Amino acid sequence: MMDIQSVRFIKSSPDLKSCPPAGPPEYAFAGRSNVGKSSLLNLLVNMKNLAKTSATPGKTRLINHYLVNESWYMVDLPGYGYARTGKKTRDTFLTAIGDYALHRETLGCLFILIDCRHKPLANDLEFINWAGTGQIPLALVFTKTDKLSAPGLDSNLTIYKKSLAQSWEELPVMFFTSSFNRTGSEEILKFIEKSNESYRNK
């Protein structure tokens, strides 16, 4: 299991060109507003208030780089799909996220978070399929699993897989987390560690 020895906030950037110089492999967390991205970052590094979280959607508005163990970046992204931010802000966020995900050459994996309680939502599927088409390395994270019973989670997952199978030959890697129950982080950290190893051997 990966030991978290240090975490340093590096920078908040409004767009790709303002991001810190590319170098270490990066792992970015995307998804609808309020899905639990910032909470998951905090869970991964076992810190309560590293990334700002909020019950009100639209909290994270910039691309936030954190350097972990002086060797990889953990990146908190703004959420998409929050109606109340207004179309202009929504478009700005999406452009920044899209540009970052497509053109950040050191991106090791884009984790796309999905609230496990919801049936597949159009903008989630669109985003996942867009990332897939763009050949962005991605993984899915079903969040807030504490809010569902095991059978409830199973049945939602079955529905999700079915709708993904319409456009995916092979389904992406999937993780299940609860920041509330503090579960699921080991698997993600293991995945990141492995990916870091292959990155070093490249």
What count of residues does the chain have? 202
Is the CB of 29 or the CB of 196 nearer to ligand GTP? 29
Tokens of 2: 């990966």
* Residue 53 contacts residue 33 (beta carbons within 8 Å): no
User: Where in 3-32 is the site for ligand GTP (CB under 6 A)?
Assistant: 31
Total residues interacting with ligand GTP, rule: CB under 6 A: 24
Among 19, 35, 59, 116, binds Mg ion (CB under 5 A): 59
**Using the rule CB under 5 A, is 33 a contact of Mg ion?**
no
Give per-residue burial for 49-66: e unless 16+ CB within 10 Å, then b: ebbebeeebbbbbbbbbb
Give per-residue burial for 90-107: e unless 16+ CB within 10 Å, then b: bebbbebbbebbeebeeb
Tokens of 178: 């609860």
What H or E segment, with its residue span, contains residue 67? strand 63-68
What, of Mg ion, ligand GTP, none, does residue 25 touch, CB below 5 to 8 Å by kind?
Answer: none
Which residue, chain included where needed, has tokens 């497509």?
A: 102
The site map against ligand GTP for 47-76 (x = CB under 6 A) is ------xxx-xxxx----------------
Is the CB of 111 or the CB of 164 nearer to Mg ion? 111
**Using the rule CB under 6 A, is 33 a contact of ligand GTP?**
yes
Total residues interacting with Mg ion, rule: CB under 5 A: 4
**Using the rule CB under 6 A, is 180 a contact of ligand GTP?**
yes
**Using the rule CB under 6 A, is 36 a contact of ligand GTP?**
yes
The CA-CA-CA angle for residues 162, 165, 168, to 5°, reads 155
Tokens of 171: 């389904």
User: Where in 83-142 is the site for ligand GTP (CB under 6 A)?
Assistant: none
Which positions touch ligand GTP (CB under 6 A)?
31, 33-39, 53-55, 57-60, 78-79, 143-144, 146-147, 178-180
